[in-house]
Structures are given as C-alpha cells and as structure tokens.
Structure 1
C-alpha cells in the first residue's frame, strides 16, 4: 500500500481547522471502511521507520464535539504524515497514531524527524484551537524506531502490520505517560537505531537517554518542533494567556 503524498501547508491547514470547528453539523454515523480487489501478499522490509503519536485527550461521553475534535486530529496528523513521501501507511486506533515509512537511506530518517517536528507543533496548535473553541485540551508524546517489519494482506480485505519497531514505539509512548506528568507533553523519543542514522545536526539534540524500565529499548529524548509552526504557537499562546489573565482580573 502507498498513500498519496501531499505537501503540508500551515496556512491552509489552519483554515481547514477553523472551518471544521465552525461546522455545527456533525455526522455521528460510523460507516465501515472495507477495501477490495487486493492480492494476498506478505512483504517484509528491514528498512522501515515507525512513528507513534499518543495523544492525551480525555472525555467522558462520545459527544458531537468530541467527534469533531477527533476528526480534526485525524485530518491534521494524516496530512502531516502524507507530507513525507516516504510514508506508506497511517494507522489510527484509540489514542495511537502510527506512521509507517520506507527508509532505505539516512536522508529518509532525517525526513522522518522533520515529520515528528511538525506533528509536535501541530499538537500545540490544536491545543490552542480546542481550548478556545471546544473547551478541551490536547497533549501528546511521540516515539520513533527503525528496523524490520512485515506487512501482510493474507486476510484481504483486512491488512496487518507486525514487527518489533511497532511494538517498541507504542511501549515507549505508554511508558512516558505512565509517569503521569503533564510536563512530558511534547517529548520526542527516538531509538538508538534511529539516532545512529541521523545526520549530526539532528542527532546532537538527543543527548539525554530516556530512563526506560525496558532494557531492550535504548532511547533518547528531546523536544523537537517545526520552527515556523511553533512561532505561530508562541504568538497565539501569548494572546490566549493575556485573554485569560484579563478575564481573571475582571472577576
């Protein structure tokens, strides 16, 4: 499977987010998505990079506003993943979003980290938008690993992705949030196999080893964001804080 790549543009994405937030007509019907006409096959690659994003987004009931928020999160994360033309598939289950990348060269690994920077900044963008329009907050962590994975379509039309890198990135994200500290929002974890394939300009940011209880996963942490997107975040966060402080003063 190869998803259609499309360049990610912040301005058009912001417009799209605002349009979706303003749309009060939310379709609550859940339609099954079943593809057909696929040949049975098993593909194994030892040059795959896997990125997992785990969002922190709590709710009590599946209201129309929660559905709206999830659709926006889905769209933004998918748009950022497919901006990278090495991305071959995107999976979403619960609070987990997983991007599968074919990364035969080190430049592909560098591009994966660029994607993670955009994803991290996007979570902050959405947090600001959701607090203002939906009275909800959003956070997230992400992890990346590199290695061998298997793609199976033996149960066509259903597909299966398996491999240690997929298990590792989910486990790392879970462990970060098991510490139950909000300051971990925005942390970016990469495995040793990702770090050794990064150019020095990127690898130097990851000099702090993550204290994982799983000794089989050696990983490093940093806070990586896309600069252009985060400039928008800083400006709008400042305006949001000033508004909130002004409201408190009036009270």
Structure 2
C-alpha cells in the first residue's frame, strides 16, 4: 500500500454513450482500499477524479486520515444553490472537521512565468535526486547515502532566506549592478528630499524622472532574477 495518493490524469475523453469522462472516479473504493491505513489523498487535478462517496467511507474507517481537494465550485447568485465538482465534498467536510482541505480551484493560481519555472525546478530536483543523490530543499531527515543540496525557490515564489542572499552575492556582476542602481536611486531621492521648494523638485523630476523609473524597473527585475523577493526567513 501507499501512504499518499495523488491523481494527475485529467478527466480524459468523454464517453458519448455514458456521458461520463474516462477518468471520473479513477480513485474509487477499490483504489482507496489498497492504501495503508491513515493515508493521505491529494487531488489537485479534477474534482471528479476522486469518488467523493468512496472518500467519505475511507475517512470514516480511518483508511484515509486527511484529504486535500481542489475543484470548481459554483454558487447561484439568486438561489444560493451550490454546484460543480466541489459540491459533493462539502457534506464530507462537515462530517470530518479538520480532516479536509478544500480549495476552490485555486491550487494553481500562479502567474504563468513562475508556474513554468516551478515545473522546471521540480524536474531538476527529481533528476538531481535520482542521478546524483542530492536532495534540494530538504524537509525532514536526510536519507542515508544522499547529500544535502541547496535551498532554492522560483523567483517571486516562497520566502527569501540567507541562502538566497549568499547565492546572490556570488554573482559579482549582478551585485555590482544592484549597487550602482541603488546608489542612483538613493542620490535622486536625496536630491528630491533636499530640494528647497516645489519648483526645484519639479525641475528634478522633469529632468531625471524617466531615468529614475527605469532604475526602479531594472532593480525590481534584478531582484526577481536573483530570487530576492518575498518575506525573509
């Protein structure tokens, strides 16, 4: 048996004769029965890929101890009626408080660039683990025979830590550019704050405003490339 099951099949083609999708309820009672007791179900694919009734029974028996479901939910503005793939899970959630995480089809609410980069990083981490026995972004204990890799995040996703700062400092060219850009911005802000009157400030803005905004954008882009965004740990 397995401790975790997570389908990634999509619904598949629609069967015209039955009106059902090929992979609807692909995780059914028979599949759940093969899990170890106290297993976890993660369905961030289509809500219909898991049989909600079978999941209900598995939660009741303890075969499944926790489930995370991401699916569409629709609420009629006039009647309040709830429909969509999430609907059958709502009653299950009420029966087992604290044992389900329900997301309104939001698990992948990420802008396209970081989503693609995240997928690339995931593949790189898997390859590093299989080929070089290197575990990147280690959580928990390091398995015997493996080495600990670096902490790595996709730009704009996750938290920034000392590891990201250290890695950024190793890029001397980018560090020099960051310093030059920051000094230019600091000098302009200093000139603005020390201007004697509004006329002098407006003259500075008229003369250097476009350059300052370019520096803003360049600095933000550079920080993003270096992975220096987000809260700091």
Higher relative contact order (CA 8 A, sep 6+): 1
Range into which the TM-score falls when normalised by the shorter chain: under 0.3
Q: When the two structures are superposed, what TM-score results if normalisation uses the length of structure 2?
A: 0.25
- Counting strand residues as a fraction of each chain, which structure ranks higher? 1
Q: Which has the larger radius of gyration?
A: 2
